[in-house]
Structure 1
Amino acid sequence: MDKPTAQRYRGDFVAWTGVCGFIGEGGDGTPIAPHSHYAIQLAIGAPGGLRVQFGRHGEWQSCAAALFPSRATHSIDVNACAMSAVLFIEPETPQGKALAARLQGRLELLEPAAVSPAARRLEEAWRVDGSYDAVKAVCLQLIQDLSGTAPREPSDARVLAAIEYIRQRVDQAVSLPEVASAAHLSPERFRHLFVEETGMPLRTYLLWRRLLHVWTLLMGGETLSAAAHAAGFADSAHLSRTARTMFGLPPSILQMAGPLSTKAREQARPGRPGR
């Protein structure tokens, strides 16, 4: 397990349908290792200090925020940011499809005017209010503004049904035939349709979902070992190797101890009245 440092990241994991991410402060003094993953990524640094790298050996660039396309190798450095937020947008959502069309596989650096007001509201919602609902509202509005989305027809209903089936069984092993049956398709037809809709094989998507489940458990106060087992990993070492591949860092260096998780744990204590 990685040893904590004086600059260890302190933050929270947030997740809603189609969107999840981290909001926090600090770091371990080094950039996140180059990695790629399924989601489209929005990285924000406030009030400044964010650096990003596109490609394994790309040039480091300073910016207020950046959008990374799905499955593109990249790295970020948030060590000079007073607050940072990294949001992951699932490509099969309307917002994800709109952002994918906008990015066309390229990195996009965002101007301060496009994100600074939202970054200030986000920091206040997180650091001052400690409000999960307020953080959610700011994040979703920003994603809506950047994607230019409005209410529209959903993605293929069969794939959405399969995704819901997976979400309800994230702590269980599920097979291709099982998920295909939930979508009322043959395994072979479902395999191709799922890749067409999400841009990734089912096996990779299942792994992504299990990792998101780990972060949620860590937010609730679970140990790394307990969270790893609950999400179907052999042990915490297996989880750390997988997280390094998909996020560029192991869960052990992300201390889930921000205002949101602290408040949630206080409210969950036995005998403490809800608020």
Structure 2
Amino acid sequence: MSLSGARASYVGPGLDLAPHETAAAVVAIGLEEAFSLALPADASPELRWTASIPSNTRHHLIARGSMVFVYLDALSDDHRRMREIDLAEGRRRLVARGVDAVIQMEVDEICASLGVPPREPPDPRIARAIRILDARPQDFRRVADLASLAGLSPSRFQALFSRATGMPFRRYRLWRRMAVVMRSVQAGASLTDAAFEAGFSGSAHLSATFRDMFGLPPSTVRALTVS
């Protein structure tokens, strides 16, 4: 798994995912086999090689071969640009590199292979506040705290924040808290310690929230390489 700002990617075996919804929009690519996707989760499944899954959309994806998942940067217009990109052509470029090579790629390199242009900065006040939130999501429970850092009223901040990220403050904050969990677990922390560091009430709270967002238990992160 590779993390870069608010972008993230996973390359590896297809996982036994339960129905779930992510805070960020997701691009899914089957490198070796087509995957089954029900979008939304209660729809009839279809076999797909590529898919662009909107944020906060419950879905059920079942994959057997090697997969690429790219979680898009809500602080940019990645999600809009991805709708304009030929994912089939992007998949062909990745397949030509070979699975072993793609596993070693950083998320920004994968995005470049897919044809996602470099990220453009949003309103600098919002960008600064969100970068602070990215670094310490557990410290900002109220939108008013970030709004004051940006020199904006909470209502104005909320409007600009949602426009920049494509999602509400609370949902984005949850996404960034999950990044804290992933890094903590990879560094050797217990699930309980990782939960407290990210601002969860305990490992049970973390496990339920993580599974609802990713379709997997947080213990799965231990088997991944996070960069």
TM-score by length of 2: 0.86
User: Any conservation in 1 of the 2:31–2:91 contact (CA below 8 Å)?
Assistant: no
User: Any conservation in 1 of the 2:9–2:70 contact (CA below 8 Å)?
Assistant: yes
Kindly report the root-mean-square deviation, in angstroms, between the aligned alpha carbons of the 2 structures: 2.6
User: Any conservation in 2 of the 1:70–1:91 contact (CA below 8 Å)?
Assistant: no
Question: In 2 relative to 1, CA 256–25 (structure 1 residues): closer, same or farther, beyond 3 Å?
Answer: farther
User: Any conservation in 2 of the 1:34–1:55 contact (CA below 8 Å)?
Assistant: no
User: Any conservation in 1 of the 2:5–2:134 contact (CA below 8 Å)?
Assistant: no
In structure 2, the partner of 1:139 is 110
SS of the aligned residue for 1:59 comes to: coil
| Matching residue within 91, 94, 101 for 2:74 | 91
Q: Do residues 45 (structure 1) and 16 (structure 2) align? A: no
Q: Do residues 116 (structure 1) and 92 (structure 2) align? A: yes
SS of the aligned residue for 2:199 comes to: coil
Q: Which residues of 2 match residues 1-275 of structure 1 at below 5 A?
A: 13-25=1-13, 27-28=15-16, 32-78=17-63, 80-81=64-65, 83-99=66-82, 102=84, 110-111=87-88, 113-121=89-97, 123-125=99-101, 131=104, 134-136=105-107, 138-143=109-114, 145=115, 147=116, 149=117, 153-252=120-219, 254-258=220-224, 260=225
1:63, distance to aligned residue in structure 2 (A) = 2.1
1-structure distance, mates of 2:142, 2:124: 20
Question: Which amino acid counterpart does residue 125 of structure 1 have in structure 2?
Answer: A
Question: In 2 relative to 1, CA 24–217 (structure 1 residues): closer, same or farther, beyond 3 Å?
Answer: farther
Which structure 1 residue ranges, 5 or more long, are not aligned?
Answer: 1-12, 265-275
1:36, distance to aligned residue in structure 2 (A) = 2.2
1:124, distance to aligned residue in structure 2 (A) = 1.9
Q: Map Cα deviations across residues 98-145 of structure 1 (whole Å, 9 max, x no partner).
A: 235x49xxxx9x43x430331453622365xxx4xx3345313134x1
Question: In 2 relative to 1, CA 222–123 (structure 1 residues): closer, same or farther, beyond 3 Å?
Answer: farther
Over alpha carbons, which structure has the higher Rg?
1
User: Any conservation in 1 of the 2:41–2:59 contact (CA below 8 Å)?
Assistant: yes
Give the length in aligned residue pairs. 227
Q: Share of identical aligned residues, percent?
A: 30
1:214, distance to aligned residue in structure 2 (A) = 0.9
User: Any conservation in 2 of the 1:91–1:198 contact (CA below 8 Å)?
Assistant: yes
1:176, distance to aligned residue in structure 2 (A) = 1.8
Q: In terms of mean alpha carbon deviation, does 205-214 or 163-172 score higher?
A: 163-172
1:163, distance to aligned residue in structure 2 (A) = 0.4
Question: In 2 relative to 1, CA 158–50 (structure 1 residues): closer, same or farther, beyond 3 Å?
Answer: same
